[in-house]
Structures are given as C-alpha cells and as structure tokens.
Amino acid sequence: MSHNPNQKICLIGLGQVYESIAADLHAYASPDTHWLFRPIGHVGLLESCADSVLSSIPQGVSLFVAVDGIALNYARMEIFVPAQERGLPMVNLIHKGACCSPDIQLGCNVWVGPGAVIDYQAEIGDNVMINPMARIDPQARIGNHGWIGRGASVGSCASLGSNCIIGDDVHIKAYTSIGKQCAIAQPGPWSQNITDGTFAEKSIWAPSRVIGEGYTFNTSCHAEESA
Amino acid sequence: MKSPLSPKHYLSEEIFALEQKNIFRKLWIFAGIKPALAAHNAFMTREIGGVPVLLQNCSGKIRAFENLCPHRLMPVQTEEFGQTPMRCVYHGWTFNPDGTVRTIPTERHLYNYDAETRQSMCMKQFAVHELGNMIFVCLDDNPLPFDDQFTPEFQEKVAEASMFFGPHAIHSNRRLDFNWKLMFENVIDYNHIPFIHPKSLLPAIPTFRHMFNNEKQEQPALAQISHGPEPVELHQLSFTRECFIDQQPYYWTKHAVKHYGRIDHYYNFYIYPNVNFTCVMGVAFPIQQYHPISAQKTQIRLTCPSVTVDNEYAKRHAANLRSVLLGEYRVMDEDFDALLAFQKAVHRDAPIMEQGHYESDLIAMAHVYKSLLNA
C-alpha cells in the first residue's frame, strides 16, 4: 500500500485487474491520493494509443499499467515498456488486505491483490500481476512480466523466468525451476523443472514447447565447432 | 462400393513393415519447418520410416543425416530440438557438414584405423527438399523426383502459404493407439464433421452446416483426386481444399498480422502420405503429421507455427500460439475418440468397408497406396 500524501497515480489499461483496482482505490493508497484514469477501449488499440496516452500524463504523476487476462498478459508490455523507456515513474499497488514481508524485493508496476501473501526474501520482477489469494513462498523468484493466478502458489526457492503465466490454483512446488515464457494452467501441484517456452495445461498435450529463435536456438550464438 | 483396403491394413505388422519400406523410406516425407532451424548448428531429431533422422543447419544449409555415430551407433544429437555442433556425446567424435568424421579424440592412441576405413566413416546423408518453409526428406538412395510426388501447382500453393510462418512454433507429440492411415483418411472424409464435431467445427463452417440441415447450398467437391476412369497417380494424392469459415478472428494481434489468403477462409493442404497442413483465417497454420509407430500406434506430431507480425511485442510473444493450439486440440481430441473406438473394434475377420460416392478420393488413395506397397 502506498502512503505518500498527495501522491498522484494514473491507472492505465483494461480488464479485471484494472476494474478491481478502480473499484477499491482506498485499499491501495491513502485517501488523499489523486487518481487519474486512462481506460483503453480494446486490447487491439494498445499499440496505436501507447504514445498518445503516455504523452497525456502530467508531470509528477506515477503510473500503474493494468492489462490482464492470461492470453493478454503480454499485451501489457505495449504500454509498460514504452513507459519504462521514457523513464516515467511507476508505482506498485499492494492491496491493504495483502501480506508482504518487509524484506521482499519488488520491481515496478507490481500488483498484489487482496489476500495474497509474499513471504520473506521473495524477489518479484517488474510488471508482475499477483492475483488475489496467491502465495509466494520464502526466497521464491519471479521474473519480469509474470502473471500469478488467483489462489496459485510459488514454493520456497522456486524460480520463474520472465513472461511466465501461472494459472489459477496452480501450485509450483519448492525448488522448481520454470524457464521463461512458460504457461502452466493445470490446477494442482507442479514440481517438474521445465525449459523455456513450455506449455502445460489439462487441454494441452505434454510436452508442448515453443521452438525457434530464442527458445531452441539463438541466431547470435556462434556455437563453437569442437575441432 | 467396397474399400480396396481390408481390416488387415489397419492391424497387420507385416503390412506396417511394408509401409515403412515402400512408403516412408521411399517417398518424400515432411520432416519439419525452417524457422525451427534458422541458425547455424540449430538441429532437430526425429524418426522417419523407422530410421533416426537428424536435420542440422550447417552454415545456413539444412542437411539430413542418419542420426547414428559410425563408431558405436549412438545418436549424434540426443535432444529433439537444440543448437550444438555435430558431436557424439559418447566418445566425442565430431562431423563435417557432409557427414564425414572430422575429429576423433585420442585417435592415434586408441583407434588405429587404416586410411581407407577412416575416410569411409560417415553419417549417412539423405536428400532434402525445401518447399517454402517446409522441409521434406527422402531416405531413398535414388530419391523420387519431387515433381513426381507433388504437382508444381500444389508445390506453389504450399510454398506460398508457408512463407507466412513467423519465427516461432509450438510443437507437441502424442502417441495414440490407432493406425496412422485412419487420421489421414479422417481429415479427407469431411462427412464426419456434423457427427463428430457438432459443437466445435460444424458451427464455424457454413458449407457443412447447410449440408447437415439439407439446405441447398454449395457442396464440397466430391472428388478432388479422381475425376474419371484413368488410374490415379501419386502426385494427385496431395491436394488442397478451402472453404468459408464463419468465425471471428481470435488473434489479439490481428491488426499487426500479415494474412495468407482470405481471412474468412479455411485452407487444407493434404500432403500425402501423412500430413494435413491447414491455414485458419490466414493467421494460424497448424501442421498435423500422422507418424506411424506400429500397425496400431501413431504419433501425432502437431506443429503450430506463429504468423509473421509487425508488432514488436507480439513478435516475442510465442504464447499467442496457445489459443491456436487449444482450438486444434479440441477438434483433434474429438477425432481421436472416434478413431480409438474404430481401432479397438476392428479385427482381422471384420467385413470390408462399404464406401459411398463421396469417398471416391479415399478409394483412389487406397489404390495408389496398394500399388506403392507392392512396388
């Protein structure tokens, strides 16, 4: 929860996180916080309107970008990245009903929903949405642009790469390592280490993985010929 | 009319062995997509016709080898996809781009090969043909001319559509207990759609919806392959179909996507013997391959390439493929239930199938299949 008196926060985006924050502003900041709203009509407009929306924000106002939904987790970057590149200040929004250990590390533009718990020495990257009742256990690490679903948990010392989506009620067990750009949306415990770009959910056959540049090879990689 | 195939064609291991020898080790077989191998030393491994095959990018050129080190017959590459030079993990032998042995650690001390043996040792190389972004491999020592298997018109269409592939794909494999031919026959037999896919595929395809309701509408062409009394040839077995699709585009980056063809169309490219390459609304390109494991086991290899996009973020967001994948799974799972039931019920003494006029493509295909088996 932000406690800066006379703070100005601009909420940008669309979807459930946006609506949930907009409906419960006092749970995220002190009553004297001045809020501005920049709702986006449709996710398809994000790319084209990013510039104009960001330009319209007065100086001294901090941003929070909320674009959500599992399939749209990546779309949030269309506002977040340009805002970060412009050096605009961004806040974290932590619901007063969430519980965060004082020694956690949070990036920017992190949302912690009501009832969520972040335990000691956990590290959360930039632009991560932690949904209500989710639990991040001690020393767990979550990469940038992540999505932790409602009631999900990330076990102690588990690590998630960037752009990972953990669905509702998925429980990543302690010490599990999840690569970047993975989606686990199969409710229940998950203890398997998985490589970049792996998808796991009930309706997707296992193993399903992304192949191509950045996943199974790198174009910049000059793999040494073992002569 | 009676099917040219009998139940044993779906049950017999002897026939399966003949298929492996005379079809999968003779014809051009789709092996993978180019975006999966778009960098030096990127590789993929798989099996074709019972042979372990390695596809490796050697300084920009895609080559295919038998994935066996000549020393102890260990696979040279052990992962399904990756990026490493051709180096056997067992004793460290390395290989040249033509498959010959490049270096052998401690060769002088431990191996003592004579010059002739040393020079002759290599991984067997197979013929490769690139058609747009699709890679085909032929295991035969005297590869069939590509044009004998696929008409130039068909090649042009496949090449054009595949050039819309983006840099990523999502790939998955699944083993199922039915004969590989059933799935290829199933995708050509459009008449099952109202019964097996009443809620998934049927509502999206008005042509079949109207047909099911006995409305007079445009009918799908009954015969794509066979138009007359002339014997059907191999190159006629690969063909295209397209139909109108009544569905809203689901791709959130659709504004940034380069579409193939018409956005309101569903395209099928049937690639004989075992690939159904589709294009859904110009933006999704699922490739289903029915890879035979045994007479009654098939590996379904599903590769869904991303589409070319202009949007900087979308380019990196391979997870967009998830929605394509979910749609494919839903329809295929419905097919699998039916085909598993067929395989469970069929037995050697079961009657020959009675096929109707609309199945003339399948009948023509079965005739060519039998002539290939007996070649």
Q: Rounded to whole angstroms, what are the CA distances from B230 to A43, B152, B236, B237, B273? A: 55, 20, 12, 14, 21
Q: Do B172 and A217 touch (CB under 8 A)?
A: no
**CA nearest to B176 within chain A:** A205
* φ, ψ of residue B256 in degrees (nearest 5): -105, 5
* Residue B173 contacts A where some CB pair is shorter than 8 Å: yes
What one-letter code names the amino acid at B77? Answer: Q
**CA nearest to B97 within chain A:** A225
Which residues on B lie below 8 Å from A216 (Cβ)?
36, 42, 44, 81-83
User: Residue B272: what pLDDT?
Assistant: 96
Which residues on A lie below 8 Å from B35 (Cβ)?
211-213
pLDDT in tens, B254-302: 556 678 888 888 899 999 999 999 998 888 899 999 999 999 999 999 9
* Residue B313 contacts A where some CB pair is shorter than 8 Å: yes
pLDDT in tens, A110-168: 999 999 999 999 999 999 999 999 999 999 999 999 999 999 999 999 999 998 999 99
- Which of B85, B167, B333 comes nearest A212 by C-beta? B167
Q: Which domains does chain B have, with CATH numbers?
A: 1-26+151-375 (3.90.380.10), 28-143 (2.102.10.10)
**Where do we find the tokens 């005297």?**
B142
- Which of A163, A199, A222 comes nearest B170 by C-beta? A199
Q: Do B323 and A71 touch (CB under 8 A)?
A: yes
SS3 A109: coil
Q: Do A44 and B302 touch (CB under 8 A)?
A: no
Q: Is the dihedral of CA B32, B35, B36, B37 positive or negative?
A: positive
> What does the buried/exposed string (b/e) look like for B67-100 if buried means 16 or more CB atoms within 10 Å of the residue's CB?
bbbbeeeebbbeeebbbbbbbbeeeebbbeeebe
- Which of A204, A207, A212 comes nearest B168 by C-beta? A212
SS3 B300: strand
Closest chain A C-alpha to B318 CA, distance in angstroms:
7
What one-letter code names the amino acid at B101? Answer: V
Q: Rounded to whole angstroms, what are the CA distances from B238 to A177, B197, B225? A: 44, 24, 8
- How many whole angstroms separate alpha carbon A202 and alpha carbon A211? 21
- CA end-to-end distance (rounded Å), chain B: 25
- What whole-number percentage of chain B has pLDDT above 90? 70
User: Residue A45: what pLDDT?
Assistant: 78
Give me the numbers of helices (H) and strands (E) for chain A, helices first please: 3, 22
- Which of B169, B172, B317 comes nearest A212 by C-beta? B169
* Residue A224 contacts B where some CB pair is shorter than 8 Å: yes
- ipTM value: 0.89
Residue of B190, B186, B171 lying closest to B321 (CA atoms)? B171
pLDDT in tens, B50-102: 999 999 999 999 999 999 999 999 999 999 999 999 999 999 999 999 999 99
* Residue A10 contacts B where some CB pair is shorter than 8 Å: no
Q: Which domains does chain A have, with CATH numbers?
A: 8-85 (no CATH), 93-209 (2.160.10.10)
- How many whole angstroms separate alpha carbon B70 and alpha carbon B121? 6
- How many whole angstroms separate alpha carbon A69 and alpha carbon A101? 27
The pair of three-digit structure tokens given for residue A86, joined into one six-digit string: 């412009």
User: Residue B327: what pLDDT?
Assistant: 79
Which residues on A lie below 8 Å from B172 (Cβ)?
204-209
User: Residue A223: what pLDDT?
Assistant: 45
**Where do we find the tokens 């920049």?**
A38
User: Residue B227: what pLDDT?
Assistant: 58
State the Cα torsion B16-B22-B27-B30 to the nearest 10°: 20
CB A199 within 8 A of CB A183: yes
- Tens digit of pLDDT per residue, chain A (227 long)? 555 667 899 999 998 999 999 999 999 999 899 999 999 887 777 878 889 999 999 999 999 999 875 455 777 888 999 999 999 999 999 999 999 999 999 999 999 999 999 999 999 999 999 999 999 999 999 999 999 999 999 999 999 999 899 999 999 999 999 998 888 988 999 999 998 888 887 777 766 888 998 888 887 754 444 33
Apex CA A138: angle with CA A135 and CA A141, to 5°? Answer: 80
The pair of three-digit structure tokens given for residue B314, joined into one six-digit string: 């979308």
